[in-house]
């Protein structure tokens, strides 16, 4: 039997979203509950996949079934496609299973040609009808040319504007039938001029080209970017919806509109929308005419409006969510063309979810599940004013590395950022790339813009931790740091020029765009409370300062999963002592230098323990290579030489000796502690002394520091550093007369560590997956350089998303799962988390829940995102288990009861038929008996399979 590629609306329902797409499934569902929907058909998402498998061609089977669908439409509507006497005109719309802005626009009035137009006018001499027909024809030519054949709409808009100017009118509706007839001819001539061939007149050819255009739009650049940003797989494909036209532009008794059952901006429960008389759908959003508020429709079409209000109530009660609807009124009769769960702001999403629970539409779990965690970002950071943003045009685009909006004067160095900010200036720090030395400038700036680096670059990670807007990796910028200027989009920006950046979209704008402060609505706490009630995963934060830790606690963090101690070293006094340590010739000299840093480190850790109030704090030992801490400019090297009593050449030699060809895989992490155990001793002392002091002050807290040793790939590395830690820590605890407990664990960020996790678990109290480095080393990609070629990977469909932003569950995920399965049996008390940037990505959090991690850790402002994503993962896991159980029970009940009864009934009938046949001697009876035997065997087989 041939595969079914086409479904009439009467054959589907809302459960078939994956096959029919969101639009098709909802049109079918509206049909099934009796709403007035023009009856058409949907070509499935599987047909789209087949189109690409067949080399971007629609095969004969799919097109044949589509034409069968057209025949059924003809029967249902009493009109014929391409007929001159009673023509059926159709609309063609795309419809993926997830709403996809950027997909193909709708095509209306398909099926028109010169002959059909002439026949329609001949059959109705009313001049107003003639105008309607030519208006529909010129719209169709323009839409088809633009959307299907990709001839720019500007050519046709110029012709319309010229015609209106020639006739001295302002609006399209003021053009006469003859004007529109002339326009249609001009449009066809423009089509031929642009494409070198005549406009297609065969309705079947028009339909096939339109279907191909929908499938083709699934792979257009806009759709690909949107899919990547919203975790929509390329493999899903899009459906095509074909339905009979209803005409809002037929006359003044007709019109079209869009509406929401609740305010999509605020969530308020009131009908919102717009309506236009004598118009088609495109007119409402095109802005050529000013639509009337939806409530005004009541005066124009009272009966249709009354029915529409009833439809709105029906749809909300049916879908239990805010609905976004498109409709048309033809001769005062209402037709529904689309419904879907409406897009909404984050603020509206929270209010609507809470209201739906209060109204009995949703349970708490369903309310939690319906909110996109990523949208919470917009509640926690300043945003651009919507009206101001709409009027602005981006001049460039990078990666939206840390959400929020910022505008300010361009500065090019961290020192300048600090200096200018101290004078009250708002600045944007623009750098080729940032380094740990830029921390103070990054804190002083309103936002950060870098030419290089990806989603997990230094700039991105630090900015997210601080909750600061950041756009990274804008490779179109031509940077001239020396002369403090850069070029973008053909314009030169100098120090002091204003720019605005959007850390959510990655867009860059010239000048100042007004921003509005973040507002956390009262519903935020309520939703977060429900999320905490249902999630299993704990949520910690990546925090290096008490301020970060405090903010994370306010946002619901239950501990620190990663404190990067290297960020504490760049204060002027500390960096001087640390450079002294690096340049020291002996262990004693290194220890002497480190002793100068120890009090600072101890105070840092004490403040973190205080901020966390007895909740877990994981402190990672020094991780970066030492070359990041030494000066690279000669003037700074001279200062260091003078301070240490060394010659400039000696310092230069030390700096040169620290350089590495691949520092990210070089002398860093545990390798530093293996080479210089005195660093590990100093950091251990600082951690343990701080913990003892804080525990003394707060006897009701349970301060248990977690000391994390980074970049372990061999268990002996871990054991060597752990022995140093234990010896030092135990001595400190004994000397203080304390009974402090502590843990020593490691980051799993080298593939070998994951593969030998059973050995490593013998020496570790906990594992924490450092998925930034684990991803880097698994793929063999440089974390900071991958952005240079990843776009080509997206274009060729090698990758659908950035593996540094969204966890690679197939490869990196398999390593994580392997490490857990190897480590847990060896050490059942092993607790396991993740502290890479993936810890705040919703799909990655879901994976972490599935493989049994104990916690995720992310930057402070992503803590609410992780809390909500963890709850959704737990709810989905529970529902999947319930569905599986219910399905199992249901099938068992069906087999045990109903099937038994039916088989008994059928077998009794079969016995009687067999007796009757056996008494007959005819050839027909003998054949019937043989057929019955075959049927009995088939029934037995079917029964056994169902069991």
Helix (H, G, I), strand (E, B) or coil at 17: helix
For residue 656, give Cα distances in angstroms to 438, 633, 661: 22, 12, 12
Distance CA 258, CA 285 (A): 9
- Of 893, 910, 885, nearest to 946 by C-alpha is 893
Contact by Cβ (8 Å): 417, 439: no
Distance CA 226, CA 103 (A): 9
Token representation of residue 732: 């400190």
- Of 200, 122, 194, nearest to 159 by C-alpha is 194
Token representation of residue 801: 């998303």
Q: Where are the alpha helices (DSSP H) in 237-326?
A: 281-286, 297-300, 302-319
- Of 492, 494, 742, 705, nearest to 618 by C-alpha is 705
For residue 173, give Cα distances in angstroms to 155, 169, 535, 561: 20, 9, 57, 64
Q: Which of 48, 407, 768, 835 is catalytic?
A: 835
Token representation of residue 918: 């056996």
The dihedral formed by the CA atoms of 436, 439, 445 and 451, expressed in degrees to the nearest 10? 0
Helix (H, G, I), strand (E, B) or coil at 832: strand
Cβ-Cβ contacts under 8 Å for 469 (sequence gap 6 or more): 381, 382, 402, 403, 404, 405, 406, 446, 447, 448, 463, 501, 502, 503
For residue 568, give Cα distances in angstroms to 346, 438, 591, 719: 35, 13, 18, 26
**458 included as an active-site residue:** yes
Helix (H, G, I), strand (E, B) or coil at 151: coil
Please, what is the Cα angle at 886 between 880 and 890, to 5 degrees? 145
Cβ-Cβ contacts under 8 Å for 673 (sequence gap 6 or more): 621, 622, 679, 680, 709, 720, 721, 724
Residue 525 phi/psi, 5° resolution? -65, -35
Distance CA 496, CA 121 (A): 65
Contact by Cβ (8 Å): 314, 261: no
- Of 732, 762, 764, 701, nearest to 559 by C-alpha is 701
**407 included as an active-site residue:** no
Token representation of residue 266: 């605020």
Distance CA 409, CA 424 (A): 11
Contact by Cβ (8 Å): 512, 498: yes
Cβ-Cβ contacts under 8 Å for 927 (sequence gap 6 or more): none
Distance CA 208, CA 66 (A): 9
Token representation of residue 629: 């801490």
DSSP category for residue 451: S
For residue 893, give Cα distances in angstroms to 212, 880, 882, 887, 947: 46, 20, 16, 10, 11
* 341 strand-pairing partners: 323
Q: Which of 458, 627, 831, 838 is catalytic?
A: 458
DSSP category for residue 559: S
**Total residue length of the chain:** 947
Cβ-Cβ contacts under 8 Å for 151 (sequence gap 6 or more): 145, 190, 191, 194, 195
Cβ-Cβ contacts under 8 Å for 583 (sequence gap 6 or more): 640, 644, 646, 651, 654
Active site residues: 458, 835
């Amino acid at each position: 039997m041939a595969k079914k590629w086409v479904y009439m609306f009467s054959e589907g329902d809302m459960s078939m979203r994956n096959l029919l797409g969101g639009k098709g499934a909802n049109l079918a569902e509206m049909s099934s509950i009796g709403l007035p929907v023009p009856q058409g058909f949907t070509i499935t998402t599987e047909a789209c996949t087949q189109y690409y498998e067949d080399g971007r061609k629609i095969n004969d089977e799919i097109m044949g079934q589509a034409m069968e669908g057209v025949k059924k439409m003809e029967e249902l509507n009493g009109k014929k496609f391409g007929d001159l006497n009673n023509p059926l005109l159709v609309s063609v719309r795309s419809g993926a299973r997830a709403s996809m802005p950027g997909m193909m626009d709708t095509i209306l009035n398909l099926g028109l040609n010169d002959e059909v137009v002439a026949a329609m006018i001949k059959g109705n001499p009313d001049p107003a009808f003639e105008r309607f027909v030519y208006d529909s024809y010129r719209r169709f030519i323009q839409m088809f040319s633009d959307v299907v054949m990709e001839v720019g709409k500007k050519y046709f808009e110029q012709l319309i504007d010229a015609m209106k100017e020639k006739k001295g009118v302002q609006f399209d509706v003021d053009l006469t039938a003859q004007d529109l007839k002339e326009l249609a001819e001009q449009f066809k001539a423009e089509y031929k001029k642009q494409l070198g061939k005549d406009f297609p007149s065969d309705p079947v050819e028009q339909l096939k080209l339109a279907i191909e255009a929908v499938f083709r739009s699934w792979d257009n650049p806009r759709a690909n970017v949107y899919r990547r940003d919203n975790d929509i797989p390329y493999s899903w494909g899009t459906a095509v919806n074909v339905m009979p036209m209803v005409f809002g532009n037929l006359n003044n008794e007709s019109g079209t509109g869009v509406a929401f059952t609740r305010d999509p901006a605020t969530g308020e429960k009131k009908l919102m929308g717009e309506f236009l008389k004598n118009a088609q759908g495109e007119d409402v959003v095109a802005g050529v005419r000013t639509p009337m508020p939806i409530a005004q429709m009541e005066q124009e079409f009272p009966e249709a409006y009354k029915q529409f209000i009833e439809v709105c109530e029906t749809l909300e009660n049916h879908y239990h969510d805010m609905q976004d609807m498109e409709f048309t009124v033809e001769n005062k009769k209402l037709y529904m063309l689309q419904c879907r769960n409406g897009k909404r702001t984050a603020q509206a999403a929270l209010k609507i979810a809470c209201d739906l629970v209060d109204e009995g539409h949703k349970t708490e779990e369903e309310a939690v599940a319906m909110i996109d965690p990523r949208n919470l970002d917009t509640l926690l950071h300043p945003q651009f004013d919507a009206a101001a943003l709409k009027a602005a045009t981006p001049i460039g685009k990078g990666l939206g590395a840390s959400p929020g909006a910022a505008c300010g004067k361009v500065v090019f160095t961290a020192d300048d950022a600090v200096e200018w900010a101290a004078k009250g200036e708002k600045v944007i720090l623009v750098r080729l790339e940032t380094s740990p030395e830029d921390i103070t400038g990054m804190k002083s700036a309103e936002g950060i813009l870098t030419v290089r680096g990806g989603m997990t670059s230094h700039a991105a990670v630090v900015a997210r931790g601080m909750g600061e807007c950041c756009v990274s990796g804008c490779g179109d910028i031509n940077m001239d740091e020396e002369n403090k200027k850069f070029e973008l989009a053909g314009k030169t920006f100098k120090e002091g020029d204003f720019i605005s950046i959007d850390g959510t979209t990655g867009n860059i704008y010239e000048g100042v765009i007004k921003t509005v402060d973040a507002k956390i609505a009262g519903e935020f706490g309520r939703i977060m409370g429900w999320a905490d009630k249902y999630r299993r995963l704990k949520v910690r934060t990546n925090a290096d300062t008490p301020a970060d830790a405090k903010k994370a606690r306010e946002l619901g963090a239950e501990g620190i999963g990663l404190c990067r101690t290297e960020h504490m070293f760049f204060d002027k006094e500390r960096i001087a002592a640390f450079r002294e340590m690096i340049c020291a010739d002996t262990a004693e000299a290194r220890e002497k230098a480190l002793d100068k840093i120890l009090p600072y480190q101890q105070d840092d850790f004490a403040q973190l323990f205080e901020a966390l109030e007895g909740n877990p704090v994981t402190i990672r030992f020094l991780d970066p290579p030492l070359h990041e801490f030494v000066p690279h400019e000669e003037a700074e090297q001279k200062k260091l030489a003078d301070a240490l009593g060394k010659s400039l050449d000696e310092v230069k030699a030390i700096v040169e000796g620290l350089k590495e060809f691949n520092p990210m895989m070089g002398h860093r992490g545990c390798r530093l502690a293996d080479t210089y155990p005195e660093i590990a001793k100093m950091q251990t002392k600082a951690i343990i002394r701080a913990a003892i002091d804080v525990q003394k002050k707060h006897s009701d807290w349970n301060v248990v520091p977690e000391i994390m040793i980074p970049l372990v790939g061999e268990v002996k590395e871990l054991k060597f550093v752990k022995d140093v830690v234990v010896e030092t820590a135990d001595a400190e605890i004994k000397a203080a007369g304390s009974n402090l407990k502590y843990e020593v664990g490691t980051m799993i960020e080298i593939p070998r560590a994951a593969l030998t996790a059973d050995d490593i678990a013998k020496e570790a109290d906990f594992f924490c997956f450092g998925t930034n480095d684990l991803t880097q080393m698994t793929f063999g990609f440089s974390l900071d350089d991958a952005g240079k070629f990843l776009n080509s990977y997206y274009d060729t469909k090698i990758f659908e998303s950035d593996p540094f932003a969204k966890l690679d569950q197939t490869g990196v995920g398999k390593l994580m799962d392997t490490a857990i399965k190897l480590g847990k049996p060896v050490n059942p008390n092993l607790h396991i988390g993740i502290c890479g940037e993936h810890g705040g990505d919703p799909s990655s959090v879901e994976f972490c829940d599935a493989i049994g991690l104990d916690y995720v850790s992310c930057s402070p402002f992503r803590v609410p995102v992780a809390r909500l994503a963890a709850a959704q993962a737990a709810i989905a896991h529970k529902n999947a288990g319930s569905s599986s159980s219910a399905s199992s029970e249901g099938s068992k009940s069906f087999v045990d009861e109903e099937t038994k009864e039916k088989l008994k009934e059928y077998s009794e009938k079969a016995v009687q038929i067999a007796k009757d046949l056996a008494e007959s001697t005819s050839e027909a009876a003998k054949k019937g008996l043989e057929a019955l035997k075959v049927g009995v065997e088939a029934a037995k087989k079917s029964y056994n399979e169902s069991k």
